[in-house]
């Protein structure tokens, strides 16, 4: 069956306004997500926030079922939180590190995660160790195997890094982690919604993601998966009356499911919109979405590469929808500004986001153009024509 691009663009109202190649930042919401989110906000205004949430109880609970279906897990292993960073933090900071514990991560790890590693290392005496890349620019599995010993407490990997096009071999890493009995945390912020994600196949203990990127949900929404057999071993870094129950003057009991990582107050309309976004993605089919994104990204790389002065900076055996490049003698920020004049959306990825990777490649910034299934081949041609025009 050919991909129904006409439907995808018709159901994405933003397509008439912009050429949006910033889907790794925040995708354009489809109409059903927009309608569901706005409808609940209107209900809150009409009858009150608490009352609107009570009326929407079944719809809110459906978000857990939708997320469990998407990630191939149980609904009790899902927490809905404010964003991917909060989801990742709630998992990471619940791990009881002690002096000498080793945290293994990748050279492409994202700044927010690495800052957390450094903070915990300074507080606890744990050690952060960066695994080298293999010849293709992804984590060396041989190096990982050789690094395993009794002191390794955690393997933490970003599935699709913020730049570079790379998709890390998270399932292969998971096999190594499982065989060694080591905790495994995956940051899937830019892979969930872009490609099929099966936490059982990956073999991770914890996985975090956001709603606003490839899932096309509202901003201020995120998901955390925690394997059920691990839940009792992890105490969230903070609790409230939703995550735990005050049962006696000097005692509380933490709830047994993954909602121990949530707090009581949240964006109810966003949570509803997130559930609709997941349902919407599943209607298209994650395999079909992934096939479409890979095809568009390949076309973009192929058409950018021959432009004089352009260097596509992507690597990895498997490359996703994030395309990063530089243009000789023109700063990425200037390229972004010039594209913006024509309502073409990209972003600039800087050294501070992936410091280790960027320093290794002797880069300070790159243009990041990230495609989604609703983007068209004509948009790729138009985008590359503008880059050629900017290149002179």
pLDDT in tens, 126-174: 999 999 999 999 999 999 999 999 999 999 999 999 999 999 999 999 9
pLDDT in tens, 6-40: 999 999 999 999 999 999 999 999 999 999 999 99
Question: What's the whole-number mean pLDDT along residues 236-262?
Answer: 97
Range of the domain at 248: 32-283
Same domain membership, residue 222 and residue 312? no
Same domain membership, residue 13 and residue 81? no
Same domain membership, residue 49 and residue 20? no
Same domain membership, residue 363 and residue 229? no
Q: How far apart are CA 326 and CA 348, in angstroms?
A: 10
Same domain membership, residue 295 and residue 194? no
Predicted confidence at residue 40, as pLDDT, reads: 98
- Long-range contacts of residues 124-127, Cβ cutoff 8 Å, at least 24 apart: 124/97, 124/98, 124/99, 125/98, 125/99, 125/100, 125/101, 126/97, 126/98, 126/99, 126/100, 126/101, 126/102, 126/153, 127/100, 127/101, 127/102, 127/103
- Last residue within a domain, chosen from 283, 303, 325: 283
Q: How far apart are CA 376 and CA 79, in angstroms?
A: 34
pLDDT in tens, 331-345: 999 999 999 999 999
Same domain membership, residue 134 and residue 118? yes
Predicted confidence at residue 1, as pLDDT, reads: 75
Same domain membership, residue 289 and residue 276? no
Question: What's the whole-number mean pLDDT along residues 261-265?
Answer: 97
Cβ contact 103:117 at 8 Å: yes
Same domain membership, residue 178 and residue 168? yes
SS3 103: strand
pLDDT in tens, 289-307: 999 999 999 999 999 999 9
Same domain membership, residue 337 and residue 237? no
Quote the number of domains for the chain: 2
Q: How far apart are CA 379 and CA 8, in angstroms?
A: 14
Q: Residue 25: CA atoms inside 13 Å, Cβ hemisphere, count?
A: 14
Same domain membership, residue 308 and residue 272? no
- Whole-prediction pTM: 0.96
- Last residue within a domain, chosen from 214, 249, 283: 283
Same domain membership, residue 378 and residue 299? yes
Same domain membership, residue 215 and residue 312? no
pLDDT band, very low/low/confident/very high, at 324 (cuts 50, 70, 90): very high
Q: How far apart are CA 374 and CA 392, in angstroms?
A: 29
Name beta bridge partners: 209.
Answer: 223
Q: What is the CATH number of the domain that holds 361?
A: 3.90.1150.10
Q: What angle separates helix 268-284 from helix 31-47, to the nearest 10 degrees? A: 160
pLDDT in tens, 87-122: 999 999 999 999 999 999 999 999 999 999 999 999
- Last residue within a domain, chosen from 236, 266, 283: 283
């Amino acid at each position: 069956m050919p991909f129904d691009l006409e439907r995808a663009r018709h159901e994405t109202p933003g397509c008439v306004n912009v050429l949006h190649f910033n889907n790794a930042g925040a995708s354009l919401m489809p109409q059903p997500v927009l309608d569901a989110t706005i409808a609940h906000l209107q209900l809150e205004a009409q009858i009150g926030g608490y009352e609107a949430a009570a009326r929407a109880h079944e719809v809110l609970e459906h978000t857990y079922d939708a997320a469990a279906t998407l990630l191939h897990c149980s609904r009790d292993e899902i927490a809905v939180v404010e964003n991917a960073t909060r989801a990742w933090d709630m998992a990471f900071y619940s791990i009881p590190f002690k002096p000498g514990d080793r945290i293994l991560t990748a050279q492409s790890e994202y700044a927010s995660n690495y800052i957390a590693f450094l903070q915990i290392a300074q507080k606890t005496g744990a050690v952060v160790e960066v695994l080298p890349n293999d010849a293709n620019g992804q984590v060396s599995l041989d190096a990982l195997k050789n690094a395993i010993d009794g002191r390794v407490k955690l393997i933490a990997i970003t599935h699709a890094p913020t730049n570079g096009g790379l998709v890390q071999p998270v399932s292969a890493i998971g096999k190594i982690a499982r065989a060694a009995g080591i905790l495994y945390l995956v940051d899937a912020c830019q892979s969930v919604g872009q490609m099929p994600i099966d936490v059982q196949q990956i073999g991770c203990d914890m996985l975090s993601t956001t709603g606003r990127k490839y899932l096309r949900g509202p901003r201020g929404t995120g998901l955390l998966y925690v394997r059920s057999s691990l839940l009792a071993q992890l105490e969230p870094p903070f609790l409230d009356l939703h995550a735990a129950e005050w049962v006696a003057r000097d005692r509380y009991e933490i709830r047994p499911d993954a909602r121990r990582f949530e707090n009581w107050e949240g964006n109810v309309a966003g949570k509803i919109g997130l559930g609709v976004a997941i349902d919407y993605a599943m209607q298209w089919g994650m395999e079909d979405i992934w096939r479409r994104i890979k095809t568009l990204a390949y076309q973009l790389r192929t058409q950018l590469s021959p432009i004089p002065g352009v260097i596509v900076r992507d690597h990895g055996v498997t490359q996703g929808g994030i395309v990063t490049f530089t243009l000789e003698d023109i700063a990425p920020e200037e390229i972004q500004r010039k594209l913006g004049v024509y309502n073409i959306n990209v972003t600039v990825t800087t050294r501070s986001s992936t410091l280790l990777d960027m320093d290794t490649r002797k880069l300070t910034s790159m243009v990041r153009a990230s495609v989604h299934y609703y983007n068209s081949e004509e948009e790729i041609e138009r985008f590359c024509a503008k880059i050629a025009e900017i290149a002179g």
